[in-house]
Structure 1
Amino acid sequence: MARQTQRPVTVTKEIDWSDVAHLPKKSTASHAMVAAANPLAVKAGYDVLKAGGSAVDAAVAIQAVLGLVEPQSSGIGGGAFMTYYDAKTHKVTAYNGRETAPADATPDMFLDDNKNPIPFKQAVVSGRATGVPGAVAMLELAQKEHGILPWRQLFTPAIALAEQGFTVSPRLASMINGHSPEAYTEDAIRYFVKANGERYQAGDILKNPDYANSLKAISEKGSAALLTGAIAQAIVDKVHQAPLAGSMTMADLAGYRPKESAALCKGYHLYVVCTPDAPSGGVGLQEALGLLSHTDIDRRNADDPKAWLEFAEASRLAYADRDYFVGDPDFVKVPVTGLLDPHYIAERAKLIGDKANPQAPSHGNPKGAPSYSMDATAEPGGTTHLVIVDSKGNAVSMTTTVENIFGSGRMVGGFFLNNQLTDFSFSPQAYDNTPAANAVAGDKRPRSTMAPTLVFNQKGQFVAALGSPGGSSIQAYNLKAIVALLDWHMPVDQALALPNLVAHGTLFLSDPFPAKVSQGLKDLGVTLTPAEHEESGLQAIIKRGNYYEGGADIRREGTAVGF
Structure 2
Amino acid sequence: MRRRAPVRAFLAALLALLSFTTQALAAGTVSSADPRASEAGMEMLRKGGSATDAALAMMLALTVIEPQSSGIGGGGFLLHHDGKSGELATIDGRETAPRSATPALFLGADGKPLPFSQAVPGGKSVGVPGNIALMKQSHDRWGRLKWAALFAPAIRLAREGFAVSKPLAEALQRAAPLWADFPDARAIYWIDGRPAREGEMLRNPALADFLEKLARKGPRAFYKGKGAAAISAAVSNAPRNPTPFARADLSAYRAKSRPPVCGQYRVYKICGMGPPSSGTVAVVQILGMLERFDMKALGPDSPQSWHLIGEAMRLAFADRGKYLGDSDFIAVPVNGLIDRAYIQGRSTLIAPGAARGSYEPGTPPGAPLRTPAKGPETPGTTHFVAIDDIGNIATMTSTVEGPFGSQLIAHGFFLNNELTDFDFTPEKDGAPVANRVEPGKRPRSSMTPTIIYDASGKPVFVVGAAGGSTIIMQVAKALIAHLDWGMSARDSLGLGLIFFDRDGLTLEPGTKLEAMKPALEAMGHHVGTLTARLKANAAERLPDGRWQGAADPRSVGVALTE
Letter aligned with residue 196 of structure 2: Y
**How much does 1:179 deviate?**
4.4
Scaled by the length of structure 2, what TM-score is found? Answer: 0.92
Q: 2:145 maps to what in 1?
A: 149
Q: Which of the numbers 402, 405, 412 marks the counterpart of 2:403? A: 405
Mapped contact 1:68–1:75 kept (Cα < 8 A)? yes
Scaled by the length of structure 1, what TM-score is found? Answer: 0.92
Q: Which of the numbers 297, 300, 303 marks the counterpart of 1:299? A: 297
Q: 1:352 maps to what in 2?
A: 350
For 1:237 and 1:420, the matched residues in 2 are separated by 18
Superposed counterparts of 1:260-409, under 5 Å: 260-280=257-277, 281-357=279-355, 359-409=357-407
For 1:149 and 1:181, the matched residues in 2 are separated by 43
Q: Which has the higher contact order (CA 8 A, sep 6+)?
A: 1
For 1:494 and 1:277, the matched residues in 2 are separated by 27
Mapped contact 1:81–1:400 kept (Cα < 8 A)? yes
The reply on whether 1:117 has 2:113 as its aligned counterpart is: yes
Q: What are the Cα deviations for residues 514-551 of structure 1, in whole angstroms up to 9, with x where unaligned? A: 3653443333333431115x422110101012222211
Q: 1:554 maps to what in 2?
A: 553
For 1:289 and 1:163, the matched residues in 2 are separated by 46
Superposed counterparts of 1:69-218, under 5 Å: 69-179=65-175, 183-184=179-180, 185-194=182-191, 196-218=192-214
Q: What are the Cα deviations for residues 18-51 of structure 1, in whole angstroms up to 9, with x where unaligned? A: xxxxxxxxxxx97621100000000000111111
Q: What are the Cα deviations for residues 442-466 of structure 1, in whole angstroms up to 9, with x where unaligned? A: 0000000001001111221110110
Q: What are the Cα deviations for residues 163-206 of structure 1, in whole angstroms up to 9, with x where unaligned? A: 11000011101111114765552222222222x32321011000
For residues 352 and 504 of structure 1, do their structure 2 counterparts lie closer, same or farther at Cα, with a shift above 3 Å needed? farther
Mapped contact 1:315–1:504 kept (Cα < 8 A)? no
Report which of the two has the higher share of helix: 2
**How much does 1:266 deviate?**
1.4
The farther-off stretch of 263-272 and 417-426 is: 263-272
Q: 2:4 maps to what in 1?
A: none
For 2:527 and 2:119, the matched residues in 1 are separated by 31
Mapped contact 2:323–2:372 kept (Cα < 8 A)? no
The reply on whether 1:486 has 2:480 as its aligned counterpart is: no
Deviating beyond 6 angstroms after TM superposition, the runs of 4 or more aligned structure 1 residues are: none
SS in 2 for 1:177: helix
SS in 1 for 2:427: coil
Mapped contact 1:83–1:94 kept (Cα < 8 A)? yes
For 1:236 and 1:356, the matched residues in 2 are separated by 53
Mapped contact 2:350–2:356 kept (Cα < 8 A)? no
The farther-off stretch of 507-516 and 34-43 is: 507-516
For residues 356 and 411 of structure 1, do their structure 2 counterparts lie closer, same or farther at Cα, with a shift above 3 Å needed? farther
SS in 2 for 1:235: helix
Aligned-pair identity (%): 38
Mapped contact 2:461–2:539 kept (Cα < 8 A)? yes
For residues 181 and 230 of structure 1, do their structure 2 counterparts lie closer, same or farther at Cα, with a shift above 3 Å needed? farther
Q: What are the Cα deviations for residues 438-487 of structure 1, in whole angstroms up to 9, with x where unaligned? A: 00000000000001001111221110110101101111111001111111
For 1:80 and 1:326, the matched residues in 2 are separated by 17
**How much does 1:396 deviate?**
1.4
Q: Which of the numbers 449, 452, 466 marks the counterpart of 1:452? A: 449
**How much does 1:270 deviate?**
1.2
Mapped contact 2:463–2:537 kept (Cα < 8 A)? yes
For 1:183 and 1:270, the matched residues in 2 are separated by 51
Mapped contact 1:407–1:419 kept (Cα < 8 A)? yes
Structure 1, gaps ≥5 residues long:
1-6, 8-13, 15-28
Superposed counterparts of 1:239-250, under 5 Å: 239-242=235-238, 243-250=240-247
For 2:271 and 2:176, the matched residues in 1 are separated by 35
Letter aligned with residue 364 of structure 2: P
Q: 2:12 maps to what in 1?
A: none
The reply on whether 1:50 has 2:46 as its aligned counterpart is: yes
* Count of matched residue positions in the alignment of Structure 1 and Structure 2: 534
Q: 2:9 maps to what in 1?
A: none
For 1:458 and 1:248, the matched residues in 2 are separated by 49
Q: 2:533 maps to what in 1?
A: 535
Mapped contact 2:384–2:396 kept (Cα < 8 A)? yes
Letter aligned with residue 451 of structure 1: T
For residues 31 and 208 of structure 1, do their structure 2 counterparts lie closer, same or farther at Cα, with a shift above 3 Å needed? closer
Q: 1:443 maps to what in 2?
A: 440
Mapped contact 2:81–2:394 kept (Cα < 8 A)? yes
Mapped contact 1:31–1:547 kept (Cα < 8 A)? no
Letter aligned with residue 168 of structure 2: L
Letter aligned with residue 552 of structure 1: A
For residues 104 and 425 of structure 1, do their structure 2 counterparts lie closer, same or farther at Cα, with a shift above 3 Å needed? same
The reply on whether 1:256 has 2:253 as its aligned counterpart is: yes
For 2:85 and 2:508, the matched residues in 1 are separated by 41
**How much does 1:436 deviate?**
0.5
The reply on whether 1:524 has 2:531 as its aligned counterpart is: no
For 1:188 and 1:529, the matched residues in 2 are separated by 36
Q: 1:64 maps to what in 2?
A: 60
For 2:178 and 2:457, the matched residues in 1 are separated by 44
For residues 345 and 504 of structure 1, do their structure 2 counterparts lie closer, same or farther at Cα, with a shift above 3 Å needed? farther
The farther-off stretch of 152-161 and 548-557 is: 548-557
Letter aligned with residue 134 of structure 2: M
Mapped contact 1:324–1:372 kept (Cα < 8 A)? yes
Mapped contact 1:453–1:467 kept (Cα < 8 A)? yes
For 1:424 and 1:539, the matched residues in 2 are separated by 26
Structure 2, gaps ≥5 residues long:
1-16, 18-23
Mapped contact 2:176–2:195 kept (Cα < 8 A)? no
For 2:471 and 2:352, the matched residues in 1 are separated by 26
Q: What are the Cα deviations for residues 295-318 of structure 1, in whole angstroms up to 9, with x where unaligned? A: 222333111111111111111110
Q: Which of the numbers 454, 461, 475 marks the counterpart of 2:472? A: 475
For residues 348 and 30 of structure 1, do their structure 2 counterparts lie closer, same or farther at Cα, with a shift above 3 Å needed? farther
For 2:37 and 2:111, the matched residues in 1 are separated by 44
Mapped contact 1:423–1:446 kept (Cα < 8 A)? yes
SS in 1 for 2:539: strand
Letter aligned with residue 366 of structure 2: G
For 1:123 and 1:180, the matched residues in 2 are separated by 18
For 1:125 and 1:424, the matched residues in 2 are separated by 15
Q: What are the Cα deviations for residues 43-94 of structure 1, in whole angstroms up to 9, with x where unaligned? A: 0001111111101000111011101100000000000011110011101111
**How much does 1:356 deviate?**
4.0
For residues 221 and 127 of structure 1, do their structure 2 counterparts lie closer, same or farther at Cα, with a shift above 3 Å needed? same
For 1:95 and 1:490, the matched residues in 2 are separated by 30
The reply on whether 1:501 has 2:498 as its aligned counterpart is: yes
Larger Rg over CA atoms = 2
For 2:32 and 2:354, the matched residues in 1 are separated by 36
